[in-house]
Amino acid sequence: MYTNGDYPFKFGTFIGSDAAGNRYYENRVDYPFGQHRLVEPGDIHNFDSASIPPEWHGWMTSMNDTPPSAEEEYFKEANKNIRQLDHSSTGIDHAVGHQEEVFNFHHLHNLSQVRSRGYGIGNPIVGLPPDAKDSYYTQPGSPYNAASIRPRVNIGSLDADGGRAYKSEKWAERLRTPEEKAAIERSKLDALKKDIETEKMNAMRRKMALAARGAGTVAGA
C-alpha cells in the first residue's frame, strides 16, 4: 500500500526497500506503464529525488526489470570472482568513484547540493551545520579543492605593522591610496629631471675636457 498527496491510497506489490527506508511497490494491473512502479519515502516530510539510490532509480524508470533486491545476492557472488587488476578509487562493487568523507549525507546519493549557502552559515535545506566542510566532490586543481589551495605568500607590506601586505607589485598598486600614488609619480618625475640634469653636466664636462686637450672644434659646440 502506498500513499501520497494526490491519491488517498495506491495499491501495489511490495518489491523491496533501501538503506534510506524507501519502500518500492509495483502494480502492473491497475496503472499504465510508466506509473506502475511506486516509491514510499522513508521520510516523507524531507524527501528528495536524490534519496533514491542509482540502482533503484534504474528500476523505477523501467531501465531494467530486475529489482536490486533480487540482484544483490547475484552480485555478491559474482564479485568474489572478480580480480582487480589496477588500483582505482572506484571499487569493483560500484561505479560511484571518489567520494568525500560525508557519505550518503541524509541519504542523498547526489551530494552536489551538500554545500554551504553562504560563508559560515551552512545549509538548513539539507541540514549542513554552519562552518561544516562541503562534502561534494571537487577535482584536483579546482579552487574549491582544499588540497589545491596554495597558501598566500606576501613579498612586502605598505605599512610598518604589516597591515597592508601584498603578494605582488600589481597587488601593492591596488592597495595604495591616491595620495601615495601621486607621491610616487612626483618622485619618478623628480628622478627623471635629476637624470637629465646629470646627463647635461656630464656632456658639458666632456666638451670642456676635449677643448682643454686641444682637440679642436667639438661637434655641436
CA distance readout (Å), 193 to 119, 167, 201: 52, 31, 12
What's the gap between Cα 59 and its chain centre? 32
Q: What pairs with residue 184 in β-bridges?
A: none
Length of the chain: 221
Q: Phi, psi (5° rounding) for residue 10?
A: -130, 145
pLDDT, tens digit (0-9, with 9 covering 90-100), for 18-40: 888 888 998 888 888 888 888 88
Give this prediction's pTM: 0.38
Is the model's pLDDT at 1 over the cut of 50? no
Q: Could you tell me the pLDDT band of residue 48, with boundaries at 50, 70 and 90?
A: confident
What's the gap between Cα 193 and its chain centre? 52
Is the model's pLDDT at 204 over the cut of 70? yes
Q: Could you tell me the pLDDT band of residue 219, with boundaries at 50, 70 and 90?
A: low
> Of the ranges 160-169, 196-205, 208-217, which one carries the lowest mean pLDDT score?
208-217
- Could you give the percent of the chain with pLDDT greater than 70? 77
pLDDT confidence of residue 190: 93
Side chain identity, residue 184:
I
pLDDT confidence of residue 194: 93
pLDDT, tens digit (0-9, with 9 covering 90-100), for 94-127: 555 555 454 456 666 666 667 788 888 887 777 7
Long-range contacts, 147-150 (Cβ 8 Å, 24+): none
Is the model's pLDDT at 167 over the cut of 70? yes
